Structure 1
């Protein structure tokens, strides 16, 4: 999951938004944001998506169909600059002892789908658009077999995982 890839797709997805309103928007990784605790004047969007993981100890890979991603966003009307901060939650290998929490790797199609949903929320929250019709459905690309393993999920450990809903 390269920062450049997320930034490039974000710029592509928000291009029309920038043209429509003239505000600049940026996206940043931020591992300090917490689900359900956006800072004052920030909005939140949380979504599950398909991603893959690779253990840095043994090299094993595994898919997960609902990796939790938290987005916090706001528009500063004074500076005409919007900021999106996001944090994908990690998972650990179930076979390695003392495994590291690994960052997910998203396919470009899944990054685009997530960012289209964020762009939709920006339009609703920051620009008061009505998106009841014609919104972009999120259709994650990829397959995952088997149950969700809460013991190895960072979001479960923090009590914010939606897998148990």
Structure 2
């Protein structure tokens, strides 16, 4: 799904924050986000999710059960604006020489779950709400029975993969 799909889903998920608190929120992707290193006054939420990849060279596709997504977020209470920066970690094709890191393709249901959990975290951190939410799980996007290939995982190469969690 495109950034626009993420943005629309995020707007839908944050409508209640606008209604309840009068704060607007925006989402942007930033490939420079470093896990476990949010800027001062920012919070972090990290989650693994199911996604698919497709090699731009050979067109091979593969599923992955634990694609790391890192969100850094903050609320500027004076301006009544919240910002979320997100980074989706990539993988490369194991078959191609000099393969490039490919962007994960998330199913719309899994984007909804990711953003629903993110908004729960925003409510807890920025608004100090206590939530007893219903647990929603990610939907698998194919069989992924092989081993995790650390040498082709951007998160592993950066030392932040949470494949064992």
Give the drift of 1:15: 1.2
- State how 1:103-122 maps to structure 2 within 5 Å: 103-122=103-122
Q: CA separation in 1, counterparts of 2:122 and 2:48? A: 18
Q: CA separation in 1, counterparts of 2:84 and 2:109? A: 19
Which residue pairs with 2:64 in the alignment? 64
Tell me: CA distance 1:141–1:20, structure 2 relative to 1, closer, same or farther (3 Å). Answer: farther
Q: CA separation in 2, counterparts of 1:92 and 1:141? A: 20
- Paired residues of 1:50 and 1:63 also in contact (CA < 8 A): yes
Give the drift of 1:136: 3.9
Which residue pairs with 1:7 in the alignment? 7
Tell me: CA distance 1:39–1:135, structure 2 relative to 1, closer, same or farther (3 Å). Answer: farther
For normalisation by structure 2, the TM-score amounts to 0.95
- State how 1:80-159 maps to structure 2 within 5 Å: 80-131=80-131, 133-143=132-142, 144-159=144-159
Look up the SS of the partner of 1:151 in the other structure.
Answer: helix
Give the drift of 1:14: 1.2
Give the drift of 1:135: 4.2
Q: How many residues align?
A: 164
Q: CA separation in 1, counterparts of 2:81 and 2:106? A: 27
- Paired residues of 2:50 and 2:138 also in contact (CA < 8 A): no
Which residue pairs with 2:162 in the alignment? 162
Look up the SS of the partner of 1:65 in the other structure.
Answer: strand
Q: CA separation in 1, counterparts of 2:101 and 2:31? A: 13
Give the drift of 1:56: 0.7
Query: Bigger shift: 41-50 or 16-25?
Result: 16-25
Computed over aligned residues only, the root mean square deviation of the Cα atoms, in angstroms, reads 1.1
For normalisation by structure 1, the TM-score amounts to 0.95
Q: CA separation in 2, counterparts of 1:22 and 1:138? A: 30
Which residue pairs with 2:31 in the alignment? 31
Give the drift of 1:18: 1.6
